[in-house]
Structure 1
Amino acid sequence: MHTKKLKLGQGFRVAFEVRRAQCAEMVLAPGDSEGGDDNRHHGADQWLYVVDGRGVAIVETEGRKRRVALEPGRLLVIEKGERHEIRNTGTALLRTINFYYPPAFRRDGEPKGPGRKRASR
């Protein structure tokens, strides 16, 4: 068993991983974004759950970009290889919990394996 109280403070932090799954928290300030045209996880699916705040996910799937409104309770699965960006379009922090299968990041937040470099903030 593993347990951890999440801080959900600004930034990206890996909470922990178990065998072939990983949990991380990502919190974006109003106007901030993570990802972009070169952001994709080549070997992992990302399950993003919105805890609080408002935003938009822009995901390129099957050759076209789709926009998905992010609000509390929204669950979004970004499949491995899909380019994506997460933007905070609200006036408060956008708080998300993210699960990666298999794990996509090292404990320090840097990508594992054949992923891309993290976008600058």
Structure 2
Amino acid sequence: MEHRRLRFGRGFRVLFDRRGVQAAQMVIAPGASEGGPDNRHRGAEQWLYVVAGSGVAIVAGARRALAAGSLLLIERGEAHEIRNTGRTPLKTLNFYSPPAYTRDGDERPAGRPPRRR
């Protein structure tokens, strides 16, 4: 078993990964965004759950409103951007299958599984 207390401080933080799935938390400041037209995970799907705040997701050109309780699936290879349109931080919990990032938050090349500890 592995356990983490989510603090949702600032930015993006990988929490842990096991058996081909990775958990990470992301906080986007009011008026800021993450991603953009060239942002895509070529080797992983991203499940994004909004814990708090509001915003908009632009995925493959389609816009979806985000609010606490929203669950969004961004499929492999889909270009995407997440924007905070609210007055408070947009806090999200993200799952990647397979893992998409290193512990330092750098994106892994497609098809590169994490190294076992």
Q: Deviations over 1:10-68 (max 9, x none)?
A: 100000000200000000000110000100000000000000000000000xxxx1101
* Whole-angstrom CA distance in 2 between matches of 1:71 and 1:102: 26
Residue 100 (structure 2) pairs with residue 104 (structure 1): yes
Task: Look up the match of 1:10.
Answer: 10
What amino acid is the match of 2:15? A
Per-residue deviation at 1:77? 0.3
Structure 1's consecutive aligned runs of 4 or more residues displaced over 2 angstroms after TM superposition are none
1:63-82 aligned at under 5 Å gives the runs 65-82=61-78
- Aligned-pair identity in percent equals 60
* Whole-angstrom CA distance in 2 between matches of 1:114 and 1:16: 18
TM-align CA RMSD: 1.0
Indicate conservation of the 8 Å contact 2:44/2:110, yes or no.
no
* Whole-angstrom CA distance in 2 between matches of 1:22 and 1:75: 16
- If the length of structure 1 is used for normalisation, what is the TM-score? 0.89
Per-residue deviation at 1:4? 0.5
> What residue ranges of structure 1 are gaps of 5+ in the alignment?
116-121
Task: Look up the match of 1:118.
Answer: none
* Whole-angstrom CA distance in 1 between matches of 2:78 and 2:100: 14
- If the length of structure 2 is used for normalisation, what is the TM-score? 0.93
